Structures are given as structure tokens and as C-alpha cells.
Structure 1
Amino acid sequence: MKYYIIAGEASGDLHGSNLIKALKDQDKNADIRCWGGDLMQQAGGSLVKHYKELAFMGFLEVILNLKSIFKNIKFCKQDIATFQPDAIIFIDYSGFNLRIAKWAKEHDFRTNYYISPQIWASREGRIEKIKATVDNMYVILPFEKEFYETKHNFPVNFVGHPLLDALSNRPELNEVTFRSTNNIDSNKPIIALLPGSRKQEVQKMLSLMLSLTNDFSEYEFVIAGAPSLDKEFYSTFLKDANVK
């Protein structure tokens, strides 16, 4: 089968890469074309666009990059039409993916959404667009199944959180190994700071998170850095913060 997968962020690249590996295990002849990142490409997908070219966040940045955004949407539709996939798989990234899903449904492509947009947290009205454009929804959080099926009468498939699979395949993330590799005090509990994967998110959130670290010296704080951002970028925020 031919698959077209669209992910627009670092997390989507991670989950998309594991999805590609699973698809290739089940379908030895899988032909996969994708928008994503290095991990999806390494897993065997033919990379069309890197997510680093797509990360626009916030009203002002979106407005300033509207030309690029619409150009990417047009190109994506053309590329799908040329490739003629048997299935399209959307991974989160709702602002872009729901636009493509609408077009894809109108052109009789089979649409699948893996990792639902968080409509239970904001813009719940998007459920009508999802109902109209998505053939199969695969959710990763238990409450999402009830949210869709009970509240909105839209059947979905609960598949569990892919991060659990990702961690099980990374022995270097074993706690003892992780502490040793990163020179972390073995007696202190670890608190992970997750400021996001986009530069704008990190700029907005990380300073606030770090402002609290010195008040909790009994813990070790660790920043979960995004692969799309250099260590030097994070270092500008650290100063005297109690963080690795």
C-alpha cells in the first residue's frame, strides 16, 4: 500500500517514525511519503517537507507567514494528488491537517487521524469538521474515547500513548543510565520541564518554569530539549537556575 503521513512538529516526527516502523513490519511493500523530520526519514519514509519549515506559532507569526503557509497547503494537495496514496495519516498538527483532510475527503482519499487534536481542551467546535472529513480517528488518551463517542457520537479507536512504546525502545533512558549519563544526583527526585518544541513556545514558557527551580533545591530539574533547537538556544535562559 501507499501511505502519505503528515506531521508538523518534533513530537509528531517521533511518533510518526514509530508508526512508519510498525507499518513496514505489517506491510513489507509499504511505500511511505511524509511530512515530518529526520526520525521519520530514518525509519524509511520519503521526506517531502521538514517540520522545521512549518513551525509557525501565534497570531502575529502566522499572519507574517501566510504566504508560506498557503504555499505549503497548495503544494501538499498537489503532492498527494500526484502520489495517489491508499491512505492519508494525519498526526496532530490540526491547523494544517484539518485543511488537508477536508480537501482529501472531497477527492475521495481515505483519511486517518493518529493523535487527535486537543479539541477537548479548546475549540471543541472543530468536532464537526472532524466528523465530516476523518474516516478513522485513533486516540492516545483513555478519556478521549468517551469524549468522542459519548459526548459527540463519533466512534474512535483507542490505541494507547505512543510515548510508552518509544521509551521501551530506548534503554539509554533507563533511570540509572539517564542519571549517570547526565551527572544527576542519584538521591534527588527528578522533575522534567517540558516547555515545548517550537522556539516561540520555549521563549514564552521556559523562563517562567526556571523562575521556580531555586525554590525547590531538594529536586533536580531537567529540561526536555527539542531536537529542532540547539543547546546554545537553551543556555540563554539558564543563568543561575537549578537545572540540567
Structure 2
Amino acid sequence: MKIFISAGEPSGDLHAANLIHAIRERAPDAEFVGFGGPKMTEAGATLLYPLVNLAIMWFLSVFLNIATFLRLLAQADRYFRDEKPDAVVLVDYPGFNWWIARKAHARGVPVFYFVPPQLWAWAGWRVEKVRRFVDMVLCSLPFEPAWYRERGYPNAVHVGHPYFDELCERDLDEKFTTSQEALGRPLLAILPGSRTLELKRNLPILARAAAKLTRSRPDVRFAVACLHEKHRTLSESILADALADAAVDGLPSPDLEVFAGRTPELIRVADVAWSVSGSVSLELMMEALPTVILYKVRPIDLVIARPFIKAKYITLVNLLADSELMPEYLTSKDVSDDLVGHAEKWLGDPEAMARTTADLAALRYTAARPGATSRAAEAILARLRGPAPDDAAYRGPHSRAVSLESVEDPGAA
């Protein structure tokens, strides 16, 4: 069995690697090839291109890299033609992955979407592409299958979010967390995002907010959690410029340190957090950490995006709760005062802190169900191996069928 996987972001690379392990547990002879990152390579996949290096956002960035995307698309198409894989698995990364789906479908290769893009939030019209090119959608959120069914696509099953699997299996560096706790002062974790552009756009506001909070709470220290050393170097440069500007305005210098590869540990020991929007919000929920969510964009990008945004919230935690448990700001403005206000409230009012923590813990109890990766692996293999003759099944764009009744739905309880 040969499976092609396409993942274009660090989080998708991790989800894909875990899916590889889960499929291999059930099908030891399975081979994996595709686009992704180092986690997929560590899991034993043959990487045709490190697509995570192109974890980019917005229209201009895509345009500037169009030649690379076209070359990769042609490479994938040749692979589908010559190697005839048994399946293609797409992991998030909408845009490019739609074209991969189109090419695979044209070559008669079944297509699965694991951790699908949130079409219900901003691009509902793209469900037509799902109907045409995707054999099965392995949904992360419990309300997604019904949304697809209402739009004429029955081949969606809720497997859960794989991020919860990773969090349950993660080992923390206890020596590091102990050393941080021993400092004995309130800690505010700053999570500036996993993409370079996110750092460049959001970190200046987060740095200014840190300087402003230091003015009213000089006892608070700050820890910036970066994905890797390259981002750490970039963050230190951005912070130096931003804090120099803040000093010109008379703001004090915050007690701030930048870390690489310490995000889980810093979330564990922090008292509050400021975070760029992303799947990390699920980790923040797991730790019941009071958090403000920021997503800074250019004014023109916000103008273009606003008409397409259909969801009530941009944060996964708030979507799961159907309530703004994490105050969120999708903005083109400097909202550093708002960030400071929330932090001051939580740090200065134990009852407010306790209420927010309790709300997040309650949501964790109902929403954070592990096992998504295993359920996804079982669904993919069931589809590829085919149902028993008397199974109740549905059919996707290709000829084989799979019984959804054979795949446990964690949202059915």
C-alpha cells in the first residue's frame, strides 16, 4: 500500500507524522511519500519537497511563490501518473492542497482530507470542490459533518482533533518547568505564531503590550515561545526594534526572555498568555490558561477577508464553546491596550482568574477527546480495503465505498 501525504505547515507536518504511525500500526507494509516537513521524515515518509518551508499567508505571498507551487503540482501529478498510489491524504493547507486533490482525482486516486480547512468559517462555496475531488473528509470539529451534509456532501465523519492526541502523549521537561516556577513571579507567556509573517506582524504589538503592562505590573515577567532557533533569532530582532520604539514613548523595558522549542513548558507554568490565533489555542485550553488571542493583518487584507468570514469567532476554543472564552482580536490596529487590560484583570482579580480557568477546564472535559488519529487511520484503511458486501455504505467520487458505521464518531455520544 502506497499513500501520498501533503502537509504544508508545522502543525500539519506533526499531524501527518502521527497519522503515518497510526496507519503503520494497522498496515505495516504501507509506504508514504509526499510533501511535508521533518516530522514526516522522522516517521519514515519519503519527502519529495519540504512544503512546510512555504507556510505562507495571504495573496501576495502566494503570488510571489507561484512558480514553486506550479512546479510542485506538476511533480505530484507525475507521481500520481507513474506510481499510482492507493490514496492521497491532505492535511489542512487549503489553496495548494485543493490543486493536489484535483490532480489526484483526475488520476483516479482516492482523496482524504484530514484536519480539513474551516470552510464553514470563510469559504463555504468551496464545498463544491470537496464534492468533486474529495472522497472522505475526516472532520476535526463535531458540528462539521452536519454542515457538509446540509450542503450535499455525505462523506464526512467526525474523528476529532489530532492535536489532543499529541497533547496527551507529550512529555515536558520537568527540570525546565521547575526552574521557571522557582522564580516565583507572575509569568505571561507570549506565543507569536509558527509562521515568519505572523511573527513580523504580531510581535511588535505584543512587545508594546508587554512594555505597557510592565508600567502597571513591574513584577510580571514575560516569556516569548518560538517554534525553533531561526524564529528565536528573528523574534529577538523584532523585539529589540519594538521595545526601542516603546522606550521613545516613555514605556519601561519589560523583563522578557525568548525561548525556542519550549512552548509546552511555558504554557504549563504561565499564569496568563497572549497568543496568535492557531491550533495552539487547543493546548492553551488543555492547560486552562487564561489567554487573549491576537491576529494582526494589514488593513487591505482585512477589507478583502471580512466579506468571506462567516464564523462567529476566529479561535477554535471559542468555536467549540460557542462563547468568547478567549478574548480575540482580528485586527489591523494596535490593540496593545486591550491585551494589557485583560492581563491586568486576570492577574489582579483572583475571582476573575478562577472563573476563566473553570470555564476552560469545563470545555476541556467535553471537547478534548483523544483518539482522532487512530480513528482517521481506521477510516482511511476501511475505505481502501473496501466494505463487506452487506455493509451500509456511501460512495464518493471514486468507485469504492466505505461504511461510516465502522468508524467510531466521538461526537455521537
Range of TM-score over shorter length: 0.7 to 0.9
**Corresponding residue number in structure 2 for 1:180:** 178
Contact 2:189 2:225 in 1 (8 A): no
Structure-to-structure mapping, 1:85-234, within 5 angstroms: 85-149=85-149, 151-155=150-154, 156-172=156-172, 179-180=177-178, 185=183, 188=186, 191-193=189-191, 195-214=192-211, 215=213, 217=217, 221-227=222-228, 229-234=230-235
Mapped to 2, the partners of 1:88 and 1:148 lie a distance apart of 20
Structure 1: runs of 5 or more not aligned: none
| Separation in 2, partners of 1:42, 1:49 | 14
CA contact (8 A) 1:197 1:228 kept: no
> Structure 1 residue 220: deviation in Å?
5.8
- Tell whether the 8 Å contact from 1:10 to 1:51 is kept in structure 2 after alignment: no
Structure 1 residues 99-108 or 51-60, which shifts more? Answer: 51-60
Query: Residue 88 of structure 1 aligns to a residue in which SS?
Result: strand
- TM-score, normalized by length of structure 2? 0.53
Contact 1:10–1:228 (Cα < 8 Å) also in 2:
no
Q: Post-superposition shift, 1:104?
A: 1.3
Whole-Å separation in 2 of the counterparts to 1:192 and 1:35: 30
One-letter code aligned to 2:226: G
What pairs with 1:50-65 in structure 2 (closer than 5 Å)? 50-65=50-65
* CA–CA distance in structure 1, aligned partners of residues 184 and 140 of structure 2: 32
Q: TM-score, normalised by structure 1?
A: 0.86
The 1:85/1:210 distance shift into structure 2, 3 A limit, reads: same
Alignment partner of 1:26 is 2:26 = yes
**Is 1:74 paired with 2:71?**
no
Q: Deviations over 1:9-59 (max 9, x none)?
A: 111111111111111111110111121111111011111111244334332
AA aligned opposite 1:208: I
Residue 29 of structure 1 aligns to a residue whose secondary structure is: coil
Q: 1:211, 1:241 within 8 Å by CA — same for their partners in 2?
A: no
Residue 34 to residue 178, structure 1, CA distance change in 2 (3 Å) = farther
How far 1:178 sits from its partner (Å)? 5.5
How far, CA to CA, are the matches of 1:79 and 1:228 in structure 2? 34
SS in 2 for 1:171: coil
- Matched residues, percent identical? 31
State whether residues 6 and 97 of structure 1, in contact with CA within 8 Å, keep that contact through their aligned partners in structure 2. yes
1:102-130 CA distances to partner (integer Å, 9 max, x unpaired)?
12112211100001112122122111111
- Measure the CA separation in 2 of the matches of 1:129 and 1:224: 37
Give the SS at the match of 2:172.
Answer: helix
The gaps in structure 2 that reach 5 residues or longer are: 241-252, 258-413
- Higher Cα Rg, which structure: 2
Question: In 2, Cα distance between the equivalents of 1:161 and 1:53?
Answer: 24
Query: Structure 1 residue 79: deviation in Å?
Result: 2.0
